[in-house]
Amino acid sequence: MPMKNLFITKPLSVLFKEAEMTEGGLKRNLTRMNLIFIGVGAVIGAGIFVITGTAAALHAGPSLVLSFILSAIGCGLAGLCYAEFASMIPIAGSAYTYSYTTMGEFIAWIIGWDLILEYLFGAATVAVGWSGYVTSFLNGYNIHLPPSISQSPFVFDATGWHTTGAIINFPAVFIITVLTVLLVVGIRESAKINNIIVIVKVIVILLFIGFGIAYINTNNWVPFVPANTGEFGHFGWSGILTGAGVIFFAYIGFDAISTTAQEAKNPKKDMPVGILVSLLICTILYICVSLVLTGIVPYQKLNVSAPIALAIDTAGKGLYWLNPLIKIGAIAGLSSVVLVLLMGQSRIFYTMSHDGLLWPVFSRVHKKYRTPYITSIVTGFVAVIFAGIFPIGLLGELVSIGTLLAFAIVCIAVVVLRKKNPDAPRAFKTPFVPVVPILGALVCLIQMASLPRDTWIRLLVWMALGFIIYFTYGVKHSKIRKMKDKGMLE
């Protein structure tokens, strides 16, 4: 088995040539506004409608707003690094592609496999949240789904694994299946539907913020930073840090934008705008929602699957009219997140397969729809299994650690490429290099360190599986290695 050149890099010249190829490949349909909406569509979802409650109740209390700010700082620093790469390398692949051209194939494989974890479990996580809001919405109209088909069969808490008696979380399975079909049909159609969904959920969130302010009880913010229970991550300042790590996956929208670079009409100019503008919009909304939410409901009561709906109920008759709108907005919002995450996952599969690191079947493009349909179907199938069986907390932590690792590597990669290829054309430059990338990587790594030990163990098991695939298949079929062996690369 060839073990040499584990850190062989993919030259920028090869990437640029691939970006110019359109025959038989992905079609450039996405505008700047589409990219911004994709970012907002992926970011505004489970973070606001689901994870805010559990993170406040279990980790940060009212100081959850500080957790969001800390995560936003890390995302902002990483976002500047993403923007530079996205303007330089306008092809699908996101952090995987960026690391391939800077730190080599082995690191690229690690980040690509990590991104698969991020998007697969991300889609499954949000689908479980979607199921909770749909069930609650139907209950309001006396339509009651049996718990046996609307809950996860397993739960995981401090005492270990338990069964719930349920068979499958059918609503979560349903939404993933529908959106997978939509992604097979086409990126343009998916983007149009996403745009409509994003408008609906942003309006609903603004209504909650605007009308909810009047129902804030400032006593619920005291103490703003609850005393630590004696265990790291359970309130206090360590709770703020852990809370930031837990809710970090809510910010992965701009990473999803970068996976669609090969389908953007003007990626060099529009990708940085899409990444940074969507991040700014979402950070402001997250901060406002977390303040209103913890102001209306005591944080101890927020460990529920639909915390914003609970806040509306707590406010009483004055906000009762907003309850169905909130649930509709949540259902719509979570739908768009699942859509974007499934789309991002299929593009990662496509790019890794195109490079020869995964089986060729994953880089097939549908003759009519010009979409990577095989990867979309496989992604949907696996996500259905996870969403139908596992609880949201377990899935969310896995997504967070995968996202943080991806962001840290992208930050480091900017510094490496500035050293290796300082004269490469950059439509957007990360400011204050190396300070911004180094700070971005540190913030991400610190948040990773604050996540539970079990989450780290699951990440290592996932990576071990990835190494087996890489060393038994990827190393032997890498296209860059073959080009190198034939003397086609310098």
For 305-322, how does the pLDDT look when each residue is reduced to its tens digit (9 = 90+)?
678 888 988 888 888 888
Q: Is residue 16 included in any domain, yes or no?
A: no
Q: Provide the pLDDT confidence category of residue 394 given band limits of 50, 70 and 90.
A: low
Largest Cα separation within the chain, whole Å, is: 74
Residue 274 main-chain phi, psi, to 5 deg: -60, -45
Nearest to 278 by CA among 81, 444, 438, 72: 72
Q: 349-371: per-residue pLDDT in tens?
A: 888 998 999 999 988 888 887 77
Mean pLDDT to the nearest integer, 200-213: 91
Which domain, by its residues, includes 283? 24-484
pLDDT at site 478: 93
- Which CATH number is 235's domain given? 1.20.1740.10
Distances 130 to 246, 326, 448 between C-alpha atoms, Å: 18, 13, 26
Q: Is residue 175 included in any domain, yes or no?
A: yes
pLDDT at site 236: 93
Q: Is residue 3 included in any domain, yes or no?
A: no
Q: Is residue 39 included in any domain, yes or no?
A: yes
Q: Is residue 10 included in any domain, yes or no?
A: no
Res. 348: pLDDT tops 70:
yes
Mean pLDDT to the nearest integer, 121-125: 83
pLDDT at site 159: 64
Q: Is residue 490 included in any domain, yes or no?
A: no
Res. 188: pLDDT tops 60:
yes
Distances 323 to 53, 130, 207 between C-alpha atoms, Å: 17, 16, 11
Alpha helix (H) ranges present in 213-358? 236-247, 253-259, 267-296, 307-315, 323-354
Q: Provide the pLDDT confidence category of residue 190 given band limits of 50, 70 and 90.
A: low
Q: What is the H or E stretch that residue 154 is in? A: strand 154-157
Q: Which amino acid is at 237?
A: W
pLDDT at site 23: 45
**Strand-pair partners of 162:** 155
| Half-sphere exposure for 77 (CA within 13 Å, toward CB) | 26
Q: Is residue 12 included in any domain, yes or no?
A: no
Least-confidence region, from 21-30, 154-163, 402-411, 464-473: 21-30
Tell me if 60 sits within 8 A of 240, measured CB to CB: yes
pLDDT at site 392: 64
Least-confidence region, from 41-50, 63-72, 358-367, 392-401: 392-401
Nearest to 273 by CA among 438, 39, 90: 39
Three-class DSSP category at 264: strand
Q: Is residue 150 included in any domain, yes or no?
A: yes
Count Cβ neighbours within 10 Å for each residue of 226-260 and write b for 16 or more, e otherwise. Answer: beeeeeebbbbebbbbbbbbbbbbbbbbbbbbbbb
Domain count, the chain: 1
Lookup: tokens for 60: 């940060």
Lookup: tokens for 58: 């279990």
Q: 421-477: per-residue pLDDT in tens?
A: 888 888 889 999 999 999 999 988 988 888 778 788 888 999 999 999 999 999 999
Angstrom distance (rounded) from CA 321 to CA 366: 45
Q: Provide the pLDDT confidence category of residue 231 given band limits of 50, 70 and 90.
A: confident
Helix axes 267-296, 64-88, angle to 10 degrees: 170
pLDDT at site 1: 43
pLDDT at site 237: 92
Res. 27: pLDDT tops 50:
yes
Res. 3: pLDDT tops 60:
no
